[in-house]
Amino acid sequence: MGLKIRAIALALALAAPGAAQAGLEFCNQTGANASVAIGYKGSGGWVSEGWWNVDAGACKTVISRDLDLSHYYWRAESTDLSWSHANYMFCTTDEAFTIVGDEDCAARGYDREGFNELEMTGYTSFTMNLTNEGDGRTGNLNGGGRDPEENIVYPDENPAQYDSAASDVVIDPVGTHGEPYSITGILSHCDVLDNGIQCTILADGWIYVADSYSPTPLPMLEDLLNAGENRAIQISGDLMDYAGQQANVTIREYSFGNPDAYSVERGLMQGWWTSVDDASYELVIYGSMFEEYYSGNPDLAAFMFYQWGCDSAFDGQIAFQLVSWDGNEQRCASIEYVDDASMSIWVAGTMKPLRFRRAN
């Protein structure tokens, strides 16, 4: 990181909560350009993000949604000024970053630096003013800090293709975490796990999974979680690894598309169903996940890829091919009918349809 000359102590003028247009904003009231990073506790653990460049005399919004955490943390850097920071330690790097986790920074190739705390209880928006009034000395010292123009991406120079809080996040460069990819498919659903979020996207017979334990920024996954189930979507990112029919990926950009020809059936099939012919056989459909229960015991979940017909069967009918994580599921079924109360599906190669009534 280089030697940081403590030329000017930090003087903070904290504006009234309503002064910020939305979320968390930094205003640079010095005569030098600065760069800002933030830290916070997300559902997947501690997260640090940066850098946002804030020109002298300008303001930059780094979180554009209402603030929903009690504490945020920040760090500011400049070639001309150097601020004091507390011992709230986060991982950072000289380039644009989103880093999940605040431990083992050096082992993961990052620096470990101090951040200052912001107590935000009761605030939904806040403006932080950076000033150079600390000890009365002037700045313009050379060689001490990070060049705010070097190796830093302005968030608004390469905007992501979504309009959300995640648009403030600076994304890792293409190919950082694996082979670049781009797909068009269906966002099945997102799950809130013990310590994070996992989202599942279906495309071309593959199950794509992105979660907050990987380098996908948590705010982006939160946006996908809030978007709901079975959304037509185009995503791009890096393919990290795959096994069976599951590919583990990062998401760099996404955009939602228009509903496809199967959207009505997808919507009607959501929920818990009980077999008309065998009460011990139940079916749960959530997003595009198809999970069978026998006497209350779940079988391996599969995912529904909607299509017209099943190879040589059910020509002209809306059907779905089941695909499991391990790739062993091969069943295909047509949708005979579905409404708010009942449903009938016919698995190719069987003698009669499976009839269900809604249980929820």
Q: Is 292 exposed, middle or buried (0-12, 13-18, 19+ CB in 10 A)?
A: middle
Two tokens, residue 19: 């002064």
Residue 243, domain extent: 179-256
Q: What is the three-class DSSP state of 166?
A: helix
Domain shared by 212 and 88, yes or no: no
- Output the pTM of the full model: 0.56
Residue 156 has pLDDT above 70, yes or no: no
Q: Judge whether 167 lies within some domain.
A: no
CATH code of residue 326: 2.40.128.280
CATH code of residue 201: 2.40.50.140
Domain shared by 244 and 313, yes or no: no
Instruction: Write down the pLDDT at residue 169.
Output: 52
Average pLDDT of the residues in 258-272:
94
Any idea which of 116-125, 154-163, 216-225 has the lowest mean pLDDT? 154-163
What is the C-alpha to C-alpha distance for residues 224 and 210, in angstroms, rounded to an integer?
A: 11
Q: Judge whether 3 lies within some domain.
A: no
Most confident of 166-170, 175-179, 276-280: 276-280
Percent of the chain, pLDDT > 70? Answer: 82
List 274's β-bridge partners, or say none: 282, 357
Domain shared by 52 and 135, yes or no: yes
What pLDDT digit, counting tens, does each position of 124-140 carry?
A: 888 888 887 533 222 22
Q: Judge whether 171 lies within some domain.
A: no
Domain shared by 20 and 149, yes or no: yes
Alpha helices in 195-276 (DSSP H): 218-227, 263-268
Q: Is 54 exposed, middle or buried (0-12, 13-18, 19+ CB in 10 A)?
A: buried
Two tokens, residue 248: 């583990």
| Residue 348 confidence class, pLDDT cut points 50, 70, 90 | very high
